């Protein structure tokens, strides 16, 4: 059987998608596509590829009902360059294979991430791990960016001085900061890539890793447009309710004023309703009501 190729993916091979100030994502290679997904799904009863419409329906069915193994038949390989702190969030997704540049073998480049002024925001008042919506004033933002760049330049100068004095690379790298850029080759199947994207494209994810997730999503869409459409429909754009939330939603739809939720549970429920409103056209969303805090 000939290797499956997808024109949109072929056009994207080895094209750098810029990320942040100095980073990128490149699609290096891919194995399979939408056709491979439906072939793998239909092998159990010996049926081959059908029409595009039938293939689309099958892919939506598989993803909607969490039949994941056919999506594992598609594999994408990326070359990515990102700040170390982004890499450490990224590597939490362990169902993948990677090779990262090593500071033991290589002299690290003088490349550091300096956030854009508009991304410098205050600490969130209700989320201990995230920035809030309020930006710093331009003067403070400019000062912070300058201080970051100055600190990075000083630390890198000390790093090169240590190397010049003969210190081993594996020790000299010790003080290099999380803003230093690293690179790796990262290979992952489509099912686990979708899990990565569902988490890292979410509005709660840190801005910097969302930038990379969106670049990876561009590649996934090129390789498997039907599967990516199903991912947007059934995962990325969907909302999952807990049992208590379903009970509250039923009470609201029945016209009741008491929904039984309060505190953090109510705030999470409200976020999900807001996501629903954002997905529904304005002229069709009138039936969604806002739950009271009572």
Residues taking part in catalysis: 200
Closest CA to 270 of 285, 290, 244: 290
| Among candidate residues 84, 71, 87, the one with its CA nearest the CA of residue 220 | 71
| 8 A C-beta contact, residue 185 and residue 79 | yes
Residue in 244, 235, 236 with CA at minimum distance from that of residue 264: 244
User: DSSP for 106-174?
Assistant: SPPPS-B----GGG-EEEPSS-TTSEEEEEPPHHHHHHHHHHHHHHHHHHHHHHHHHHHTT--HHHHGG
Cα 105-85-271 angle, rounded to 5 deg: 155
Q: How far apart are CA 30 and CA 264, in angstroms?
A: 42
Give me the half-sphere count of Cα atoms (radius 13 Å) on the Cβ side of residue 1. 8
Q: Which helix (H) or strand (E) holds 273?
A: helix 263-279
Contacts 24+ apart (CB under 8 A), 119-128: 119/207, 120/144, 120/145, 126/267, 127/204
Report the C-alpha gap between 178 and 176 in whole angstroms.
7
Q: What is the residue whose two structure tokens read 């990102």?
A: 82
Please tell me whether residue 48 adopts helix, strand or coil conformation.
Answer: coil
């Amino acid at each position: 059987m000939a290797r499956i190729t997808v024109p949109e993916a072929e056009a994207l091979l080895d094209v750098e998608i810029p990320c942040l100030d100095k980073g990128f994502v490149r699609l290096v290679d891919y194995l399979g596509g939408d056709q491979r997904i439906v072939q793998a799904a239909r092998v159990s009863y010996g049926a081959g590829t059908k029409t595009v419409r039938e293939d689309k329906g099958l892919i939506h069915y598989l993803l909607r009902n969490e039949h994941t193994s056919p999506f594992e038949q598609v594999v994408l390989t990326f070359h990515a360059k990102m700040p170390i702190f982004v890499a450490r969030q990224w590597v939490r997704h362990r169902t993948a294979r990677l090779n990262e540049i090593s500071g033991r073998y290589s002299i690290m480049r003088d490349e550091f991430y300096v956030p854009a002024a508009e991304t410098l925001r205050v600490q969130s008042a209700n989320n201990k791990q995230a920035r809030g919506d309020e930006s710093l004033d331009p003067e403070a933002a400019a000062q912070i960016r300058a201080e970051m760049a100055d600190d990075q330049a000083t630390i890198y100068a000390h790093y090169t001085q240590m190397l010049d004095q003969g210190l081993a690379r594996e020790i000299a790298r010790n003080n290099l900061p999380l803003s230093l850029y690293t690179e790796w080759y990262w290979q992952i199947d489509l099912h686990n890539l979708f899990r990565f994207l569902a988490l890292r494209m979410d509005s709660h994810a840190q801005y910097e890793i969302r930038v990379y997730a969106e670049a990876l999503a561009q590649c996934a869409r090129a390789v498997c447009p039907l599967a990516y459409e199903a991912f947007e429909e059934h995962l990325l754009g969907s909302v999952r309710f807990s049992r208590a939330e379903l009970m509250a939603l039923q009470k609201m739809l029945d016209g009741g004023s008491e929904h039984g939720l309060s505190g953090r549970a109510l705030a999470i429920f409200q976020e999900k309703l807001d996501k629903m409103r954002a997905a529904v056209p304005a002229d069709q969303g009138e039936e969604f009501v806002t739950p009271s805090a009572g």
